């Protein structure tokens, strides 16, 4: 048991942080919504009704989509784009998808390589991009959920203001949808870009995301 915890501490810790944060968000969002409802003389809602509402769904989904987009873009960008001195970048002569030998696929696979890396053909092609495919699918799914839940929450607000609801096709062209979307995108791109650049000159001893403390600033593609 202790070995299992030690070997999976990163995923377990982040899973726990996710659940605690989501629970906290549900309580804070519920209290915030009921403040607004009371101020406008509408009835308050229960916590269970809130977590099943479009208000909660859109607030969750808009952050999910941007996080998964961030990692998808980073995954794809780091295939081709380099950053001299950054541990986030590959070595400067390795831009691109690299050779089968470098990637240990097909005849170059190791005895314990994943089966789809060994077989060749479409399975190896799919497996070679499987992380990006799944991250991209979760991004698109979350963005779709944001658009539908945001549409419902926006129309609920419009009805409170005695306005005609919008069609979904109009909502995805509305400023509310794009404001929710872009305010998340800009912060994700800033954070990733900042990490890639600051990691050239700054260190975190012991972290896999940093170069070793004594590594020169110009060393590229080296993680601690």
Q: How far apart are CA 119 and CA 102, in angstroms?
A: 16
Tokens coding 152: 């419902």
Q: Is 51 in the site for other proteins (CB under 8 A)?
A: no
- Closer to other proteins at the Cβ: 39 or 110? 39
Q: Is 101 in the site for other proteins (CB under 8 A)?
A: no
Q: Is 163 in the site for other proteins (CB under 8 A)?
A: yes
Q: Identify the CA nearest to 116 among candidates 108, 127, 107.
A: 127
Site string for other proteins, 114-143 (x = CB under 8 A): ----------------x---x--xx--xx-
Q: Is 77 in the site for other proteins (CB under 8 A)?
A: no
- Closer to other proteins at the Cβ: 122 or 206? 122
Render 153-165 in DSSP notation, one character per residue.
Answer: HHHHHHHHTT-PP
Judged by DSSP in three states, 3 sits in: helix
Q: Identify the CA nearest to 171 among candidates 156, 150, 141.
A: 150
Render 64-92 in DSSP notation, one character per residue.
Answer: HHHHHHHHHHHHHHHHH---TT-TTSPPT
Q: For residues 89-104, b (16+ Cβ closer than 10 Å) or e, as one string?
A: bbeeeeeeeeebeeee
- Closer to other proteins at the Cβ: 116 or 199? 116
> Which one of 35, 91, 101, 156 is in contact with other proteins (CB under 8 A)?
156
Shortest distance in whole angstroms from residue 152 CB to other proteins:
4
Segment lying near other proteins (by CB under 8 A), choices 33-41, 96-104, 195-203, 205-213 = 33-41
User: Using CB under 8 A as the criterion, which residues of the chain lie in contact with other proteins when the complex forms?
Assistant: 37, 40-43, 45, 52-55, 57, 61, 130, 134, 137-138, 141-142, 144-145, 148-149, 151-153, 155-156, 159-165
């Amino acid at each position: 048991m202790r070995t299992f915890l030690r070997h999976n501490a990163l995923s377990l810790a982040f899973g726990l942080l996710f659940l605690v944060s989501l629970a906290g968000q549900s309580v804070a969002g519920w209290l915030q919504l009921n403040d607004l409802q009371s101020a406008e003389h509408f009835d308050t809602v229960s916590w269970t009704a809130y977590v099943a509402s479009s208000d909660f769904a859109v607030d969750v989904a808009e952050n999910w989509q941007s996080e998964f987009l961030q990692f998808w873009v980073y995954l794809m960008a780091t295939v081709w784009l380099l950053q001299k001195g950054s541990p986030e970048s590959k070595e400067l002569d390795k831009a691109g998808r690299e050779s089968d030998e470098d990637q240990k696929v097909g005849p170059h696979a190791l005895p314990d390589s994943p089966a789809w890396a060994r077989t060749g053909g479409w399975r190896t092609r799919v497996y070679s991009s499987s992380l990006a495919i799944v991250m991209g699918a979760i991004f698109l799914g979350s963005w779709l959920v944001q658009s539908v839940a945001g549409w419902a929450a926006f129309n609920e607000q419009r009805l409170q203001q005695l306005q005609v609801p919008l069609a979904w096709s109009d909502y995805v062209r509305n400023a509310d949808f794009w404001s929710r979307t872009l305010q998340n995108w800009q912060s994700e791109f800033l954070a990733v870009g900042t990490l890639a650049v600051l990691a050239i000159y700054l260190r975190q001893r012991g972290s896999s995301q940093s170069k070793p403390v004594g590594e020169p600033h110009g060393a590229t593609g080296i993680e601690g």
